[in-house]
Copies of this chain bind each other. A is one copy, B any other.
Amino acid sequence: MTDSSVSAITIARREFVDLWGQMANHWGINRTMSQIHALLMISPEPLTAEQIMEELQISRGNVSMNLRDLINWGIVRRTSLPGDRRDFFVTEQDVWSMFQIILRERKKRELDPLLSRLDECMARAGRKPETPEDKAAHESYVKRVTELRDFFTTFDRLSSALLDNQPGSLAKAVKLIDKLV
Contacts and interface: CB of A to CB of B under 8 A. Distances in A.
Interface of A: 7-13, 15-16, 19, 23, 25-29, 41-45, 95-96, 99, 106, 109-110, 114, 117-118, 120-121, 124-126, 129, 134, 136-141, 144-145, 147-148, 150-151, 154-155, 157-158, 161-162, 164-165, 169-174, 176-178, 180-181
A29 B26 CA distance: 8
A173 to B, nearest CB: 5
Contacts of A28: 25-29
20 contacts: A8-B124, A9-B141, A12-B124, A12-B125, A12-B126, A15-B117, A16-B121, A25-B28, A26-B110, A42-B141, A44-B140, A95-B150, A95-B151, A154-B174, A157-B174, A157-B178, A161-B177, A169-B177, A169-B180, A173-B176
Given A154-B170, A154-B171, A169-B180, A145 B95 contact: no
A23 B118 CA distance: 12
Contacts of A124: 8, 11-12, 15
